[in-house]
Amino acid sequence: MGEPMLPDGLPLRVVLLCSLVALFSIVTVDVVQTAKPRCVNRCGNLTFSYSFGMNNTGNDCYFEEKSHNFLIFYDDLTDPPTHYITDKSSNIQILDISIENHEISIMIFVAKDCYNSSGGISYKFDPWLTLAIFPISPAKNKFIAVGCDTYATFTGRQGSTYVTGCLSSCNSILDVINGSCSGIGCCETSIPRDAYRYNVSVTSFNNHSGIWGFNPCVLDWLIPNEKCDDAKKDTTTYMCRENSNCTDAENGNGYQCHCLEGFQGNPYLQNGCQDIDECVTLQPCSGKCTNLLGTYDCSCPRGYRGDGRTGGKDCTPIIDHSTCVALGVSISFLLILLGGNWYYWGFRQRKIKRQREKFFLENGGCLMLQRLLSEHEGSIESARIFTDEELKKATDHYHESRILGQGGQGTVYRGILPNNMVVAIKKAKILDRSQVEEFINELIILSQINHRNVVKLIGCCFETEFPLLVYEFVTDGTLSDHIHNCRHESTLSWRARLRIAGETAGALSYLHYDASTQILHRDIKSTNILLEENYTAKVADFGASRLVPLDRTQLTTLVRGTLRYLDPEYLQSSQLTKKSDVYSFRVVLAELLTGLRALSFERAESERNLPSYFASAIKGERLFEIIDSRVLNEGNPKEIKEVAMLASRCLRVKREDWLTMKEVAMELEGLMKVMDRHPWVNQSCDLEEAEQLLGERPSKCDGILKSNASGNDDSISNQVPFEIESGR
């Protein structure tokens, strides 16, 4: 069988791990003396120190006491040459000696119990060792048995009878992991203290091969038979020299000597412990280093004082009197400057605060808001009150790159709140303080509305010279942009237009009949209808709106709104009713069908006003001549005719016969449901059906007479509308 291996990968015959000598890494000018004068401290590859020595120059080169000695023999007849130490009871082969750790690394035999293939014992060896003054080190040695049927015992400690050991059992030697005592095919136990001798025995329970071995043995060495207190009483035999101290050995009966802190060398020799020059070896100072006996001193760099040992952390500048005076003057001047700036800043902040409070009161932040809330029993709990600084930060101080739209009455900015919510901020240009009430009016009305097709109010700000409103951000512009601007005119399909009309009618029906208090918008137009990215309609701009008490059907007010969308009767009588919003919506419906502006001075005089032009076309059965080309191409003539007739029915001859917004919304909703169930094929070029519907052929199937010219938003003289053409 092959030679078994110890857990560290060494062959079993090598039982001692070489404990390397702890080499001095400290650099000194003088070589530290480790042996007595005229005595050698090296032989072959072994370096040793007193109390160990060779007898080639006299017996005083090594320590000897009674029957014990530290004599080293050199045998150059072996290959390689070996060293032995003898205490007159046994010779021990030495591998290494450590004066600092008081350890000797030695080579000893291991026990073996080997069997041949027939099951008979081919080799058996049970070693023993007797040591007079060198106890086996329990800290550096382990008792280890290797094999699959191995029972190993250790008997030691002179004068005491005990047996210790361990058992290892496994099915096959293949289960043993080479180089590791993993618990399979290997067991281990500790070496007891004060073991000056041992007998090792190994057996197997069965007749098959089994082996064991334990790791290399390390011995502790000491000055025997006395403890420190007793040894110090006899100065002629006490071994510890100057600059050293004595400690009782932890393993065995005796003591050991060690150099004091700050010294190095051999504590058993006269002047053997030499001072360490920390200034050379450690370089521990940030300033000047001074070596002292057993220690050192660190000064701080020039201009500093304190202890320089901590890398300069405890060094403080040395300041003379003139420097203190200059520093005091500088600090005083700095304090005066800071105090002045603080006073100015505090004064400025108080001024800004008073100005904001003034604006807050002037803008209706308290009394006017409370009065209107009391009158209308409204609530603005859902509206947040923003500070001026918050909105400045949200709009990058109202930078021009944030502008969404501008009009005669103000500007709308795109803002980003700290929670990354995008909002639209309306900043008014009100020159008349009486118009602040209009701002509060819109705030109160929007705070009472919760409808998916009405723009949502987020909050407001009273701290600026003119008040600000914060709305949800609607992404895709106004209905007017999509109908009248060239860059949008091809994007709005017939179906999208019909859905926008239905959603706008539904929002107005909600305001008239389902809100907690009846609300009349009073300024419905294509610029006040915003569109989301998917063309969802949002009714906006409630600055001219009015709350109508439940017991009232009309209000007498100053005429407000945009001239081309105004109900003529309201214009004449100033009597505001639900019919006023119906008329305005009918104009928006005509814009959706024709793509024409409500008022354009670039059209013929008879065609300038869209409401009358639209009514005239229906009456003269010329509807398809003015319908938008995309509507004409995508819509079925029946659909177009039905929506046109709905717009016409909104404005019957008798005002009391006009449709309500609820009826208009229901008609449009019903038409959308029919389209969903029975989608008609595009018949816009079906001339025969067009003749049947209108009594004449349309002049064009692939186009219409449509004006893209810009008209002026002409408003009546007695209105000051809070109108921003962007619709935000």
**Residue numbers annotated as active site:** 523
CB 519 within 8 A of CB 444: no
Q: 347 in helix, strand or coil?
A: helix
Please name the residue ranges forming H helices in 560-609.
Answer: 568-573, 578-594
Give the span between the Cα atoms of 706 and 700, in whole angstroms.
12
Question: Rounded to an integer, what distance in angstroms lies between the CA atom of residue 630 and that of residue 650?
Answer: 24
Tell me the C-alpha to C-alpha distance, in Å, between residue 728 and each of 94, 306, 387, 482.
98, 70, 20, 15
Is 668 within 8 Å of 497 (Cβ atoms)?
Answer: no
Report how far Cα 602 is from the mean position of its chain's Cα atoms.
Answer: 61
Q: 589, 483 in Cβ contact below 8 A?
A: no
Decide: helix, strand or coil at residue 571.
helix
Residue identified by tokens 């932040």 is 365
CA angle, residues 14, 15, 21, in degrees to nearest 5: 95
d(CA 73, CA 255) in angstroms, rounded, equals 24
Q: Rounded distance, CA 670 to CA 569, Å?
A: 30
DSSP 8-state class, residue 527: G
Cα distance between residue 19 and residue 99, in whole Å: 12
Exposure class string for 398-421: b at 16+ Cβ within 10 A, else e: beeebbbbebebbbbbbbebeeee
Quick one: how far is CA 250 from the chain centroid?
55
Specify which residues 459 forms β-bridges with.
Answer: 384, 470
**Angular region, 582: left φ>0, alpha ψ -120 to 50, beta rest:** alpha
Rounded distance, CA 557 to CA 574, Å?
Answer: 6
Distances (CA, A) of 429 to 378, 385, 401, 432: 26, 20, 19, 9
